[in-house]
Amino acid sequence: MTERSKLRDQLTGLAFAIPFLIGFAVFLAYPLCRAAYFSFTEYPMLKAPIWIGLSNFSRMMTDPIFWKALRNTVIFALMSVPLSLAVSVAIALLINRPIRGLAVWRTLVFLPSLVPTVASAILWLWLLNGKDGLLNVLLKNGAALFGMKFVSPEWLSSANWVLPTLAFIGLWGVGQTVIIFLAGLQDIPREMYEAAEIDGADALQRLRHVTLPMLSPVIYFNLIIGIIGSWSVFDMPFILTGGGGTGRSAYFYSMYIRDAAFTYSQVGYASALASVQFIIVAVLSCLVIWSSRRWVHYR
């Protein structure tokens, strides 16, 4: 290959990458740098930013709403990430089997993730309604069959129930994760199962010693995506709890960033909150990457 054609190839490659690079620079890198700068300023949106050093960060330390939002987000992440991973793997395993109407089952699993958030939120609002919600009616009738009295929980307005309920509702959109797991499962060589069977492994042992280790790169990918997603959760809880729930019991970190910026017009403080969120997610992702050496197995 001549120097000239090498250069032409490089230029062609660059030309293809340019749209992405422009998008990355304009919509990601620049806003990220600006937000980092604003986090050291007081910036009420309609007036010029003033440099205030670390004041926004020190204010966070004494801001009870910051701690409340952080606490809720951590609890939600701890519940929702493992739950959605476990359920996704379980569903993927089920629809990976040669069962009747496989295409229909797979479609049904994926379908909810295509429903717009607002529409599904309204649906959940009615399903979980304390008085006439289908879930409470079913539970009540079920309890009555066994002669028990059922006290219907207020799934979304009770401070004790709201976070587990939201984590549970999050399972509604696992379709995409399931499809990724399904692809991962179908990539596992058949011979490995055959070898395990010859060695006398039962179904559970095959799952533990073949499926899960072979699926670990996909689990690893979905874990990181799940962590990022749980830290930026906003729309569904916002609609379901009317902006944060009783006593801010479902007030998440992203909601506080949005309120600080657009309701209270404190763009500087909101940027500082966003920077902290970025650092937390980056640290968690690094921890997962670091730990992956111990539990992720590549072929």
Partner 1 sequence: MRHYFPKFVAALMVLAATLLLIFGSKPGSFVYRDGRPVPADYTIVTYWEKWSREEAAGMQRIVDRYNEGPGRTKKVFVQFVSVSQIDQKTLISTAGGNPPDIAGLWALQMGTFTAYGALTPLPELVNDGTIGPDIYKPYVWNLCAPVSAGGVPYAVANTPATVALFWNKDLFREAGLDPEKPPQSIAELDEMSEKLTVIDENGNILRTGFLPNFPGWWDYCWGNFFGNTLWDPSTDTFHIDTPANIQAFKWYQGYTRKLGTKSVQTFDSGFGQFASPQNPFMSNKVAMCLQGSWFVNYIENYTPRFADLNFTELQKRYFAGTLTREEMDLKVLESRDLFRQHYGAALPPNSFGKPGDSLIGDLDVWAIPRGAKHVAEAMDVLRFFTQQDNMEALCRSHCKPSPLINVSDEFFRMHPSPYITIFDDMIRSQQVAVMPVSPNWNKAYDEIRNGYRGMWKTPESFPVEATLKANQIVIDGYRAEYLRSVERRKAATKEGQ
Ramachandran category for residue 167: left, alpha or beta (phi over 0 → left; psi -120 to 50 → alpha): alpha
Residue 26 vs 114, nearer CB to partner 1: 26
Distance CA 134, CA 250 (A): 22
Query: Minimum Å distance from CB 173 to partner 1?
Result: 24
Minimum distance of partner 1 from residue 160's CB (angstroms): 9
Instruction: Quote the tokens at residue 48.
Output: 């010029």
Task: Report the run of H or E that residue 291 belongs to, with start and end.
Answer: helix 267-295
| Residues 76-115 as x/- pattern, contact with partner 1 by CB under 8 A | ----------------------------------------
The residues pairing with 42 across neighbouring beta strands, listed in sequence order, are 50
Residue 280: both structure tokens together: 């937390």
Question: Would you give the end-to-end CA distance of the chain in angstroms?
Answer: 34
CB of 133 to partner 1, least distance (A): 8
Minimum distance of partner 1 from residue 273's CB (angstroms): 15
Q: Could you tell me how many residues of this chain bind partner 1 (CB under 8 A)? A: 28
Q: Report how far residue 230's alpha carbon sits from residue 73's, in angstroms, rounded to the nearest whole number.
A: 7
Q: Which is nearer to partner 1, 13 or 247 (CB)?
A: 247
What is the C-alpha separation between 229 and 81, in angstroms, rounded?
A: 9
118: contact with partner 1 by CB under 8 A? no
Piece of the chain touching partner 1 by CB under 8 A; list 80-88, 154-162, 169-177, 180-188: 154-162
**Min separation Cβ 97 and partner 1, Å:** 41
Q: Is 130 in the site for partner 1 (CB under 8 A)?
A: yes
Options 61, 148, 151, 204; binder of partner 1; rule CB under 8 A: 151
Q: What is the DSSP string of 217-261?
A: HHHHHHHHHHHHHHHT--HHHHHHTTTT-GGGTT--HHHHHHIII
Determine if 42 is a binding residue for partner 1 (CB under 8 A). Answer: yes
Rule CB under 8 A: which residues touch partner 1? Answer: 42, 44-47, 50, 52, 59, 64, 129-132, 151-152, 154, 157-159, 244, 246-248, 259, 262-265
